[in-house]
Amino acid sequence: MLTKGFSEARKAYLETRGKTASRLHAALIDMDGVLYDSMPWHARAWHRMMTETGVDCTVDEFFLYEGMTGPATIDLLFRRAFGRNAEPDEARELYARKGRYFKEYGKKIPMPGADRMMSELMRLGLRRVLVTGSAQPSLLESIDNDYPGAFSPQDRITALDVNNGKPHPEPYLRGLAKAGCMAEEAMVVENAPLGVRAGVAAGCFTVAVATGPVPLEAFEKEGAHLIVGSMEEFAFMLKSVTS
């Protein structure tokens, strides 16, 4: 397990990049499962919609697909169940239905410890860029209220801004462009294996925070540079960090 401290893990990461030091400039931050304890409700909404559609699936498997765009998730399961991709109009209707179910389940609370993590990132003077595979307005509209001042309106990458969702590196590469920095100057904060894969593929120092039922070994397999057990633990770890 990669349970080393932040500074030690970052030093090891920089060595793999052929560098001895590089100042942190930005934090590229996932939303569901990092800022919000929303993944259980996403998983329930996906399972409900897909089961109605005739796809045999489990609730927990949707934690593994987190970070993919909605159409990509639908196509993945359609290929498995029906041997084909969904038609574009079909995918739009299904994803809209999933969104209605998600909203029906009510307000999703901020992830415990995420506010302290954001405070530490702001203390470090890092530019914060939201990088999410979601396009759910019900959460995106909550960011400013739940995390005031954490993200500038222009510093947000959503499913609507990319051609390729996670695990493709495009979302994090676009995040780097927003932040105006190189990969060595940024860190990714993720809670999903596919998101970790995307962050690593983009060349960033990638922190996996285990806030869901995903086995810790899955994050190590995807190449996470640091694995942390909770947002509270990560926030405490950041207290000793200088950018």
Identify the structural domains of the chain with CATH numbers, from first to last. 6-38+109-238 (3.40.50.1000), 39-104 (1.10.150.240)
Q: In the prediction, which pLDDT does 53 show?
A: 97
Q: Is the pLDDT of residue 185 over 50?
A: yes
Q: In the prediction, which pLDDT does 141 show?
A: 76
pTM of this prediction? 0.88
Q: Is the pLDDT of residue 243 over 70?
A: no
Q: Is the pLDDT of residue 139 over 70?
A: no
Q: pLDDT tens for residues 46-56?
A: 999 999 999 99
20: pLDDT confidence band, cut at 50, 70 and 90?
confident
Q: In the prediction, which pLDDT does 2 show?
A: 47
Region 47-67: mean pLDDT is: 94
Q: DSSP characters for the chain?
A: -----HHHHHHHHHHHTT-S-----EEEE--BTTTBS-HHHHHHHHHHHHHHTT----STHHHHTTTS-HHHHHHHHHHHHHSSPPPHHHHHHHHHHHHHHHHHT-PPPBPTTHHHHHHHHHHTTPEEEEE-S---HHHHTTHHHHSTTSS-TTSEE-GGG-SS-TTSSHHHHHHHHHHT--GGGEEEEESSHHHHHHHHHTT-EEEEE--SSS-HHHHHHTT-SEEES-HHHHHHHHTT---
